[in-house]
Each structure stands twice: as structure tokens, then as C-alpha cells.
Amino acid sequence: MPKITAVEIWGFESHVDTKYELAPGLTVITGPSDGGKTSGTLRAFRWLAKGEPSGEEFLHTVKNAAGEVLQQAEEAGIKVTLDNGTEIKKTRRKGKTKYWLTGFTEPFEKAEVPAAVKEALGIGSTVYGRDAQGKPELEYDLNFAYQLDPPFIISQPGSAGAKVLGKLAGTEAIDQALKSVAKDTYAARTEKAAADKEYERKVLQLLDYQDLADVRGQIDAAEWLVEQIESDLGKKTDILTLRLNLDRATNQLQQAAETLDKLAELPGLEEDLKAIEKAQQRYDTLLDLYSQLGRATATVEDLTQQIKEYDGLESAAWLLQHVEIATDQRASIHLIGLEYHRLDQIVKTSKGIIGNSEGLEPAAVLLRQAEKLLEKQSVLAGMWEVFQGITHQRTAAAENVQYLVGVNTAAELLTVVEMAYDRLQPLNEISSTYSVKDQTRARANADLVRAADEIAQADKELNVAWQEAGGLCPLCEQPAGTHAH
């Protein structure tokens, strides 16, 4: 443990700036009352090592006779030097506390004493015995003793003295072990008793479920049946979907059949269409012939007018001159007459054809309708192929309906399974609780056995310790086997 060789105090109670060195052995500080002996030693060291007192009441203050403050130090501090060269300093200034320690570049800015400072000083409280919660039963600051403090140990009850002597003699660990074992033993016995009661209660509850194995077999069978029912229900859903598709396809098929009935006369319309196309060609030919007839009629009228102009010619000479011309013209007129008769016959024939062609415009309308019907015929051909596919689907759906036979009976079995499953739930919970409690009881029994072994081992070690101590109690010097503390 390091020793303090030098002390420096400033601004602390009655000390303005005090420095002194301690002797290698015992150092005695003397002086009048209120001269700073206690404040310069115990209080300042306790402030450094324990952080007591707190606040700033210890700041050096000068007062007059009336008690008014005339002057007060801005900072209080203490610095100690150890024989190993370590320097420790603490200051209090404007509400802030700082520690300086050799080997650290930055100060510790905190009100509590840093662990490094405690380790460097080697000053701490000594603990004698701890209670069940681990709190100290006796704690002493052996490094500090004030003038009016009672003598150490003598003023304390006998149990306190026994704890101190037990720690000095090394028996404190045995006492702590015995207390710990007794505590664990009591806890294990309490837990074992509670586990036994819970075990008995669960056993009574389980008597009501002796047929659990039979119920388990029923539940397994019911679970298998549920799987089968779920599979059948899935098939039923698929079949219902197919049935809807079948109904929809049947409606479409009926509509297609109605449309086919309407188009049953389509081959006759095709023949009518061909006849109409031929009539249209003849009509175009008639229009062309009618145009030629008009031109021929105009030519005949011109020739007729020219013949009238030759009536009343008196001059034979002129007639003679024009005989050859007239002959040629007569030949031309004959040819024109033949052409006239031919054209007249064509006109008559054309009029007959035109008469036979009445109602040609409605035929054109029928032609357009026939074209639309041809388009519908193509659509109906595609619909007929769809109808054939739907017919095949309907046949397959009718075969799948056979799988749903007995679904009502399966539903009743499903209800029974659900009731059995609901009954199984509390059984599973009771079984789980029973398992947990049984494990707790087993652990309690194991803890009890372990505690008994530890007690036996502690008694053995205690007997060995008593034998090594001569068989006498070091506290009261009585035989160890005749009493207990």
C-alpha cells in the first residue's frame, strides 16, 4: 500500500495555502483549537478519498464579528504526493469538481471519486458480512477515526465482533456458504412442495382423460377424413366451375343453332346471287344496245328528211345526173333500212329484257345481305368448333360429378371431427402444463439433492477447519461441537 509523503491544501476551511511533509513513521500535528489540525488532515483527506463533504460549505471564508462574509476563496483544493511518485489533486471551483492523476493527460470532471483515484490511494471501506440481498451488514472506514468516534468493535454488539473476527480468522467464507446453502435448500424445498402439489392436482385432472389414447386415434382418423373431405370439396369447386362453363357454352350453342337455322336457306341465296350477277351483266349490255339504238334512230330520221327533199324535181336532166347518185343512195338506204330493222328488233328484244329485269335494285340489296350472311356463316363455323369443344368439356364434367357422391355424409363426419378437435384443445393444454410442472418438479428434486450434497460438503469442511483450529471456537474458546454462532 503506498504512503503519503507530502500534502498541499488551499482554500479549504481554515487553510488559505498550507504545505507540509509527513515523516516516514508516525506524524503528529499539534496546535490550538480551530487551528486547522482536523480540517488540514482528516477532513481534507476524506474529501479527497470519499468525496465527503459535498457542496461548497468547506470553502475558506472570512467573516466579521456580525457573521457577515467579508471574503471567500474562489477555489478549494488538495494535492497529495505518494512515495511511489504519484500525485493526486482535487479542486472545487464554481460548482465543478475535477481530479488530476499522474499518468492521465485529462482531468476527471465528476463529483464521484474516480476508480483510478481510489486504486492509487488504496483507501476504501471494509465490509464485514453481507445479508441475503448481498448488502453489507457492517462497513467501516478504518483509515479515518475522529476524536469523538467510539472505539472500534468494543462499542458494537457481539455479533458484529464475531463477524470481524470471523473475517480475520477466515471463517467468513464458510458462514456465507452455509447461508447460501440454507437459502438454496429452503428455496428448493419450497419449490419442490409447490411442484408436488401441482403434480397431484394435474394427476387428478388427468384422471378425467384416461381415454386420451382412444381420442388420439379418433382424431388421427378424423384428420385423415378431413383431408379427404377437403380434397373432395376442391374437386366439387372445380366441377361447379365446369358446370357454369357448361351452362354458358350451352347458351352460346343454342344461339348458334338459332343462327344456323336462319342461314339454312343460304345455298338458295347463293344461286339467286349468281342469277342477279348475270342479270346485272345483261342490264349493262342492254344499256349499251339502247345507246346504239338511239344513234341508229337519229340516222334514220336524217335519211327520211333527205328523201323528202327529193320530191317534185322537174328537171329530168337533174334526175339523170343524179340517177347514179340516187342508185348509190338507194343501195345505202336499203342497207340503212336493213340496219333499221335489225336495230328495231334489237330495241324490241332489249325492251323485253328490260321488262324481265324489273326489281333489279331489290336484288342488289339481297346481294349485300347475302354477303353479310356469308360472313356470319364463317363466324358460325368457328362457333361450331367451340361448341364441339364445350360438348367434350360437358361430358368430362358429367364424369367428374360422380366424385361428389357421398359429400353430404362427409360433411356430417367433418362436423364430428371439428367437435373432437375442439375437445382436444384443452387436453393439449393440460398435457403441456403437466409436462412443464413435471420438469419443474424434477429440477426441484435435483436442486434438493445438490443442496444436501453441498451442506454435507460444508459440514465436512467445517469439521476439518475446527480440527485444524484445535477443536475450539476462536471467538469464545468453547468446544466446537457443543454450540453454534
Q: What is the pLDDT of residues 39-66, one digit of tens each?
A: 667 788 888 888 787 877 778 778 777 7
Q: What is the pLDDT of residues 406-455, one digit of tens each?
A: 444 555 655 655 665 566 666 667 667 767 777 877 777 787 778 778 77
Does the structure show a pLDDT above 60 at 233?
A: yes
Give the CA distances from residue 99 to residues 12, 104, 116, 225, 368, in Å, rounded to whole numbers and listed in that order: 16, 10, 10, 81, 114
Measured at the CA of 149, the angle between CA 146 and CA 153, to 5 degrees, comes to: 120
At the topology level, CATH places domain 4-124 in Rossmann fold (3.40.50)
C-alpha grid cell, residue 179: 447461508
Q: What is the pLDDT of residues 119-131, one digit of tens each?
A: 888 777 766 656 5
Q: Is the pTM of this model over 0.85?
A: no
Q: Higher model confidence: residue 195 or residue 471?
A: 195
Tell me what the mean pLDDT of segment 87-95 comes to. Answer: 88
Does the structure show a pLDDT above 50 at 67?
A: yes
Angle between helices 407-468 and 212-262 (to 10 degrees): 150
Q: Higher model confidence: residue 220 or residue 445?
A: 220
pLDDT at 79: 92
Query: Which of 156-170, 306-320, 365-379 is the most confident on average?
Result: 156-170
Q: Higher model confidence: residue 207 or residue 126?
A: 207
Give the CA distances from residue 112 to residues 54, 97, 107, in Å, rounded to whole numbers and listed in that order: 10, 9, 13
Alpha-carbon distance 279 to 439, whole Å?
Answer: 109
Confidence band of 100 (pLDDT split at 50, 70, 90):
very high
pLDDT at 47: 85
Q: Higher model confidence: residue 240 or residue 312?
A: 240
Does the structure show a pLDDT above 60 at 202?
A: yes
157-181 burial, b at 16+ Cβ within 10 Å, e below that, comes to eeebbbbbebbeeebbeebebeeeb
Confidence band of 350 (pLDDT split at 50, 70, 90):
very low
Q: Higher model confidence: residue 402 or residue 19?
A: 19
Does the structure show a pLDDT above 50 at 10?
A: yes
pLDDT at 18: 85
Confidence band of 372 (pLDDT split at 50, 70, 90):
low
Does the structure show a pLDDT above 50 at 258?
A: yes
Confidence band of 99 (pLDDT split at 50, 70, 90):
very high
225 and 413 Cβ atoms separated by less than 8 Å: yes
